[in-house]
Amino acid sequence: MDPSRFTRLSDYAWQVEPFGAMRVPAVIFADEALLRAMDDKVFEQATNVAALPGIVKAAYAMPDAHWGYGFPIGGVAAFDAERGGIVSAGGVGFDISCGVRCLLTGLRRDEVEDRKADLADALFAAIPAGVGSTGAISLNPVEMDEMLAGGAHWALNRGYGEAADLARIEEGGRMAGADPSAVSAKAKTRQRDEMGTLGSGNHYLEVQEVCEVFDPAAAEAFGLRPGEVVVSIHCGSRGLGHQIGTEYLRDMAAAAARYGIRLPDRELACAPIDSEIGQRYLGAMRAGINCALANRQILGHFTRQVFGRLFPRARLDLLFDVSHNTCKVEEHDIDGARRRLHVHRKGATRAFGPGHPDLPEDLRAAGQPVLIGGSMGTESWVLAGTRASEAAAFGSACHGAGRSMSRHAATRQWAGRQIVDDLRERGILVRSPSFRGVAEEAPGAYKDVGAVVEAAHRAGLARKVARLRPLVCVKG
């Protein structure tokens, strides 16, 4: 994108002044190099979001922003129901509550290195991965509704995980307000055999080494020590979330004119928050969040079982579980007044700062862990939320590296087998059911995650705590 189209707020924040139908500005957080490399569609989509009814302050895009469906991926926007605000299925995305769970093993890298191949094989055998992957868990209709209402609590009651996990999951492991009756039979059927599965695309399970610490106090609070090994699990609500998004986008597009909403882009299909379809979507979306929380809880349990067999002294305490694709009701200070807003984060992470009451007591002084996944074979990061982030972008930060190339273009440039071999030479073992899937997720198809993280850090969205290097990657 051309920087001359923006007002430069700082070296890491760029504003589009309102024009046309825009009700508020659009703000993109990035350094100049990241901004120039972004697709012009990010500009178009961010300014379109800024034209939606009831939007508050600005439409935001994170440093990893790239073209998405309706909203840019990396988009953040908040809406006020009392001022005609809307909820948008496109502002949440198809993979509802896609997120990252990070587990602390307490193991040193040298303890894992000698058994790394055995660990890679055991995790690949235990974690179903790939397009349409299914597992050993099959839910009947009653169990499905219980899972959609209960989230990680449901999984824990079924024997997956530990009670201490719940305090380290957003919403305490269960999203209130879920309405399983608002989820279609087709969505439930798609999910029936997919609990405890990783899926495909950019989803992964990685064994990683903490290789560098930037904030020793926060790292100590988070349990991150140089040379120790962690496990990160990135996945979401699988087929159920995708089906919810598909169906409600269709219904919202058909209903928009009835509510007097002029859509700058049909992909921005939305409905008033207080409307019947808006409330029904929120109930279904919250059920989708619970599905993702339950799914990651189960995958964490499977991971603990594998480590328990190979490394009996490993503990695998949960650091945190964050979601990326959500709409949550939060209170924020707007022009000196506290207002209740529906905050959409699509490919963006909640990043509450130190002292926030929604954080666990033992993490409150440090701020919320913000888990940033890199691309396969590249570094990942742990950041911490800041107080400045609430004023900057409703307490939000980036969620990953962000694609710089389409999956189709990546498969034309790279071969999956060669990527696996090259990464093995670098000491990174990849296990995947699909070489095409590996090619689609080639490291070169993504932005430089280090540059993205640096921009988020410099913009005050979240502060750097630790850098992680991959050792094993199970890829969907």
The CA distance from 401 to 34, in Å, is 11
**Residue 370 contacts by C-beta under 8 Å, 6 or more apart in sequence?**
322, 349, 351, 382, 383, 384, 385, 397, 462
The reply to whether 457 belongs to the active site is no
Reported as type and span, the H/E element at residue 226 is none
Residues 203, 399, 408, 457: which is the catalytic one? 399
Q: Which of 454, 154, 114 is nearest to 293 (CA)?
A: 154
Which residue bears the tokens 């850090």? 457
Question: In the numeric block, which tokens belong to residue 13?
Answer: 């924040």
**Residue 76 contacts by C-beta under 8 Å, 6 or more apart in sequence?**
59, 60, 61, 62, 343, 344, 345, 346, 348, 393, 394, 396
Backbone angles phi, psi at 134, to 5 degrees: -130, 160
Burial of 172 (0-12, 13-18, 19+ CB in 10 A): middle
Q: Which residues of 356-377 are buried (b: 16+ CB within 10 A; e: fewer)?
A: beebeeebbebbbbbbbbbbbb
Find the DSSP H helices in 273-403. 276-310, 387-393
* Span between the terminal Cα atoms of the chain, in Å: 32
Backbone angles phi, psi at 24, to 5 degrees: -140, 170
**Residue 325 contacts by C-beta under 8 Å, 6 or more apart in sequence?**
92, 93, 94, 95, 96, 97, 98, 99, 236, 241, 345, 346, 347
Please state, in angstroms and as integers, the Cα–Cα distance from residue 334 to each residue in 1, 56, 212, 341, 394, following that order: 30, 8, 37, 10, 10
Question: In the numeric block, which tokens belong to residue 311?
Answer: 């490394």
Sign of CA dihedral 386, 18, 89, 197: negative
Q: Which residues of 226-237 are buried (b: 16+ CB within 10 A; e: fewer)?
A: eebbbbbbbbbb
Which residue bears the tokens 């890679």? 120
Please state, in angstroms and as integers, the Cα–Cα distance from residue 189 to each residue in 180, 183, 345, 467, following that order: 13, 10, 27, 39
The CA distance from 116 to 108, in Å, is 12
Active site residues: 399
